[in-house]
Amino acid sequence: MNTFAYARVSAADQNLNRQIDSFIQFGVEKRRIYCDKKSGKDFDRTGYNRLLKKIKKGDLLIIKSIDRLGRNYDMIIEEWARITRTVGADILVLDMPMLDTRVRGNDLTGRLISNIVLQLLSYVAQKERENINARQKEGIASAKLRGVKFGRPLIPMPEDFAQRVTEYKSKKITIADAMANTGMKKSTFYERMRLFRKRTA
């Protein structure tokens, strides 16, 4: 039997160390710890797919929390079933020791409790994500009502921008000249030229 571990964070600037340290303390070899810095919205994850090719029947997979498997109820339940039933490996969730499929024999009560806890925690994980998303949308809507601007600020137009546009449209200067004179990229110049034409129309 081999013991594997899987760590995941949702963004490249987030840190995996806390999860990895907990696996090492448990005794997992570093070479059997698989990691991803990617959203849990699907299973297009390099580290996770490499893990699935290695893990076999009778092995143990350790994760820090159930939402490392997926971001919603259906994904978590489906992936739990894939690993424990299709692959035939066991799972241990460090943040919830009750979720440990290594219960053997005729301990139906233990397996029943584990399944109930899994269903409940998967539901809670999804509801929490939905609540976070709802709060973010409410916050953005509220901020917009207060006049807060989102996204990258527009590059200010040079004072002679109108002249440069006129020169470019009359073919007195090239796009390269326009970019050099305004300090803008090609796409930015075209975009600001469209905005300028709308304002002056």
Which contacts qualify for 23-32: CB closer than 8 Å, 24 or more apart? 23/62, 23/64, 26/62, 26/94, 27/3, 28/3, 28/4, 28/62, 29/3, 32/2, 32/3, 32/4, 32/5
Cβ–Cβ under 8 Å, residues 64 and 94: yes
Q: Find the catalytic residue in 10, 22, 39, 114.
A: 10
State both tokens at 98: 């009750």
Phi-psi region of 104 (alpha: psi -120 to 50; beta: other; left: phi over 0): beta
Known active-site residue 10: yes
Contact predicate 31/37, CB 8 Å = no
- What are the residue numbers of the active site? 10
